[in-house]
Amino acid sequence: LKSGYWQVPVSAADIPKTAFCPGNGFPLYEFVRMPFGLHDAPATFQKLMEDILGDLPFVKIYLDDILIYSPDMETHVRHLREVFERLSAAKITLGASKCDFAMEEIAYLGHIYDKYGVRPDPDRVRCISEWPIPETVGDVRRFMGLVGYYRAFIPRFTAMAKPVQELVSRCADQPDNVRAYWGNEQQRSFEALRSALAGLPALA
């Protein structure tokens, strides 16, 4: 989309809530279009896009990123037309420079989509496989956050991740910079998770 958030008008009653002053001697400014940085802006924009396109089974939406997938080119053209018509009716504008059409393979939200299905982005897989041994609670949380994003691709993920996940749970109240206890169980779990994504087939 072209300047996605800016396409959403702020209701008249809420415009004063966006007021800001850039400094002494400057007037007060207010947003009439939804800016970045408002607490509920992402949720508001996601809901808008879901209201417009969410019922279409061939569309995935994440904020201003729209993925349209089809079994063949003829169907893809029909799908594109329907999406364009809905966006036009909602007065949502696309940015041509941000659009890719008729792609046989595309990276989207850390995944690769193609005719075979969906698989983790190889760059993310490489990042996981080369992840250094965690030293702090924050390191452990970041690793589990990344590898957990791909749990659907890892058979028996819950059992494999249990020792590290239990460590995360035990340290729930600890700040990120606290040194993490790291024993043999955690190391085995960590090594299994690091290598689990390599060579996995795509999910249909």
pLDDT at 202: 62
Hunting for tokens 């990123």 — which residue is that? 65
4 DSSP assignment:
G
**What CA–CA distance (Å, rounded) separates 43 from 156?**
32
pLDDT at 201: 64
**What CA–CA distance (Å, rounded) separates 186 from 178?**
17
**Residues across the chain:** 204
pLDDT at 139: 95
Tell me the CATH number for domain 122-196.
3.30.70
pLDDT at 20: 86
Contact 80, 68 (CB under 8 A): yes
Walk along the chain (204 residues) and give the pLDDT tens digit of each residue. 677 777 888 889 889 888 888 888 888 888 888 888 777 888 988 999 999 999 999 999 998 889 999 999 999 999 999 999 999 999 988 888 888 998 999 999 999 998 888 899 999 999 999 999 999 999 999 999 999 999 999 999 999 999 999 999 999 999 999 999 999 999 999 999 998 887 666 666
pLDDT at 116: 85
**What CA–CA distance (Å, rounded) separates 78 from 59?**
13
Same fold, 4-102 and 122-196: yes
Alpha helices in the chain (DSSP H): 41-53, 73-89, 122-129, 137-148, 157-170, 184-196
**What CA–CA distance (Å, rounded) separates 67 from 106?**
9
pLDDT at 136: 96
Residue 124's alpha-carbon distances to 107, 121, 133, 193, 203, in angstroms, are 11, 5, 17, 13, 17
**What CA–CA distance (Å, rounded) separates 67 from 5?**
18
Tell me the CATH number for domain 4-102.
3.30.70.270
Provide the whole-model pTM.
Answer: 0.73
- Domain coordinates in residue numbering, the chain: 4-102, 122-196
**What CA–CA distance (Å, rounded) separates 67 from 49?**
12
